[in-house]
């Protein structure tokens, strides 16, 4: 499901990243209304996801990667 969502949104996702990204997305959703450990895990997953997305956006803007869907991110 993570792969499909990323493809639909135009986010390039390598096969080796799927498990980590899916886990991070799940932790972010689970941590929204949580307290304690689940909240901290969700917050950590969000920081990691934002760092990952920033890297992708920077690469697209530097023209290192580009495809039809990347135009939306640019």
pLDDT digits (tens, 9 = 90+) for 21-33: 999 999 999 998 8
Interhelix angle for 2-9 vs 18-31, to 10°? 90
pLDDT digit string, tens, across residues 23-64: 999 999 999 888 999 999 999 999 999 999 999 888 877 877
Predicted confidence band at 73 (pLDDT cuts at 50, 70, 90)? low
Are the CB atoms for 31 and 45 separated by under 8 Å?
yes
What is the span of the domain harbouring residue 57?
2-7+16-73
Q: What is the pLDDT of residue 7?
A: 84
CA–CA gap between residue 14 and residue 7 (Å, rounded):
11
Q: Which of 55, 57, 47 is closest to 27 using CA atoms?
A: 47
Q: How many domains would you assign to the chain?
A: 1
End-to-end CA distance of the chain: 24
């Amino acid at each position: 499901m993570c792969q499909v969502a990323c493809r639909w949104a135009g986010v390039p996702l390598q096969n080796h990243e799927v498990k980590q990204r899916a886990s991070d997305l799940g932790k972010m959703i689970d941590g929204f209304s949580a307290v304690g450990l689940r909240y901290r895990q969700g917050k950590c997953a969000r920081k990691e996801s934002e760092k990952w997305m920033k890297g992708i956006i920077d690469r697209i803007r530097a023209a290192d990667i580009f495809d039809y869907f990347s135009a939306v991110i640019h």
